[in-house]
Chain A
Amino acid sequence: MTQEFILETRGLTKQFRGFTAVDDVNLQVREGHVHALIGPNGAGKTTVFNLLTKFLPPTRGEILYRGRPITGMKANEIARLGLVRSFQISAVFAHMTALENVRVALQRPIGTSFHFWKSERSLEHLNERAVELLDEVGLRDYADVLTVEMPYGRKRALEVATTLAMDPTLMLLDEPTQGMGAEDVDRIVELIRRVAQGRTVLMVEHNLSVVSRLCDRITVLARGAVLAEGDYETVSADPRVREAYMGSEAAAEEASA
């Protein structure tokens, strides 16, 4: 068994009523890498993502985590293995403070989450760790702020802090810079670079400059299948990638200009 791959898919396929969204994808994510999944709109990136995190069941194929099949596991079970995902739209608990957001992720392992007879004060010993995590993403001053009142970029940072609280070995980030201004993008790129130390990251990303700055390896999807794979230079020089990307990238540049 090859152990160098932390995550691997074999013949991963997803069909929706006859439409093949993901077609026989063999993906290999190396331990310690920041790996990007890119491709034009409708290439099936998000579907692959939802398959990997078990939010969708695959039609065919296998998913392996450290050589061990996880295809039949539930979404919450793989999270406990250390495979933790983020979402395209910032996934935070809006009417809880930033501190409580992080604390919810910290409290599960202590095993009192079903204790409805205990006071929530019993969770206060987690506050210190929660503040540390908030500090790590630059949100120390926001600890007591209700999340709904935080700016968008900060919410995404909070999401990263919450994910870090799970101490993930593999972080799956779904378009972490989507809908952000340039300043926020830079901050998030730095943040991802920092938290990727000693971890593996697989991210879906539209912004190619982010990908070029962060990623060790890139897989290009088009029409549900793998089109090319390699580092940024290899992939960006590939004529097929240029062809698949031309239309939608030109459109994207126009939209962002």
Chain B
Amino acid sequence: MATTQTMTPSMKRERRANLRRNAFYLALIVIGLVAPFVAYPVFLMKVLCFALFACAFNLLLGYAGLLSFGHAAFLATGGYVTGYLLSSYPALTPELGILSGTAAAVALGAVFGALSIRRQGIYFAMVTLALAQLMFFFYIQAPFTGGEDGLHGVPRGELFGIISLRNSLVMYYFVFAIFLFGFALIQRTVHSPFGQVLKAIRENEPRAVSLGYNVDAYKLVAFILSAGLAGLAGSTKTLVFQLASLTDAHWHMSGEVILMTLLGGVGTLFGPVVGAGLVVSLQHLLAQSPLGNWVGPILGAIFVLCVLSFRSGIVGEAIKMYRKNFK
């Protein structure tokens, strides 16, 4: 089958670009493996969890053109389900806890998606926000979440029943593996037959319809994938901090992930990672400084600056500069 392919110059160029990209990925993986010996592992794990969360959000905004204002609901659902199950059933291994949390987020994503996907633009954002608020109030009242107190002391347990995750370094590599899985899945989704259709829909929806595509179904699949990966991030975060709380369900969290994604560069694979790294680092640094109470206003100012001066985000602008100077 592959022998009849026509090899166009762009495909050759693409092959070369792929080689370069693989080398780049390899370098990043090596950095990820060495990182915990240089920086504080818990801090790195926090960055990775938020980076995965932002990547999941970006899959929806950057590649399906849908702005969700309710992604906190998926992060929190993953976290609560994992936290509750691991606290209540000590026999449950952490990977199963994370899988259950992710599955719950997928299910919630299917429901939210089915209810919101037909709306466009700001109406879609409003519907997702309303649904996420509904979940927030549900989680305050529900008995299994610990309400205002949240769930504390979630046991990390033994991975596959053998490897203890109590050690931060071991935990870090587990989180890193999860992040790589999530990132790879998004990368593949973007560059898949499905990703091609998604791109076509984003570029020109009526035309995609006239080519026979049921665009709502494609958007729904993208929404569920995004929700599931956000849930995976939430589940993992609960295991890292051994804590699930209302902070994750609050609409602030939905806003924060938008900030991370836009700051880093929406519609780029690495933008959300850079954005999440930057926001988490800033929060971390500011919390230790005398400016601790000013985290919100400072992040807000950065956001305004970003929207006004470099709209495609840090990675987006970097790509533009690279293209201008090297091509």
Contacts and interface: CB of A to CB of B under 8 A. Distances in A.
A and B are partners in one complex rather than unrelated chains? yes
Interface of A: 53, 55, 74-77, 79-80, 84-87, 91-97, 99-100, 103-105, 107-108, 112-120, 122-125, 127-128, 131, 143-144, 162, 166
B282 interface: no
Contacts of B5: 124-125, 127-128
Nearest to B59: A116
A118 B211 contact: no
B8 interface: yes
B148 interface: no
A169 to B, nearest CB: 13
Interface of B: 1-2, 4-6, 8-11, 185, 188-189, 191-197, 199-200, 203-204, 206-215, 217-218, 221, 225
Contacts of B194: 113-116, 118
B210 to A, nearest CB: 5
Given A113-B197, A114-B218, A105 B192 contact: no
Given A92-B204, A93-B199, A128 B188 contact: no
B293 to A, nearest CB: 43
Given A115-B193, A120-B193, A79 B221 contact: no
Contacts of A144: 8-10
22 contacts: A55-B209, A79-B209, A84-B211, A85-B210, A87-B206, A87-B207, A92-B204, A92-B207, A95-B199, A95-B203, A100-B196, A104-B197, A116-B188, A116-B221, A117-B185, A118-B188, A118-B193, A119-B191, A120-B196, A125-B4, A127-B6, A143-B8
A127 B210 CA distance: 21
Contact of A76 (B1, B214, B225): B214
A84 B188 contact: no
A79 B217 CA distance: 16
Nearest to A83: B210
Contacts of A96: 196, 199-200, 203
B278 to A, nearest CB: 27
A107 B6 CA distance: 17
Given A116-B221, A144-B10, A76 B209 contact: yes
Contacts of A103: 196
B216 to A, nearest CB: 9
Nearest to A148: B203
A166 B196 contact: no
A86 to B, nearest CB: 8
Contact of A122 (B193, B203, B212, B221): B193
**Among the interface residues B192, B194, B214, B218, which one has the most CB atoms of the partner chain A within 10 A?**
B192
Contacts of A74: 214
Contacts of B203: 93-96
A108 B212 contact: yes
A112 B193 contact: yes
A192 B128 CA distance: 46
A93 B203 CA distance: 5
Contacts of B204: 91-94
A131 B192 contact: no
Contact of B192 (A79, A84, A119, A128): A119
A137 to B, nearest CB: 16
Given A117-B188, A120-B193, A124-B5, A108 B210 contact: no
Contacts of B209: 55, 75-76, 79
Given A79-B212, A131-B6, A143-B8, A55 B1 contact: no
A104 B206 contact: no
A86 B196 CA distance: 20
B211 A162 contact: yes
B8 A80 contact: no
Nearest to B194: A116
Contacts of A117: 185, 188-189, 192
Most chain B CB neighbours (cut-off 10 Å) among A77, A104, A144: A104
B206 A55 contact: yes
B200 to A, nearest CB: 5
A79 B211 CA distance: 6
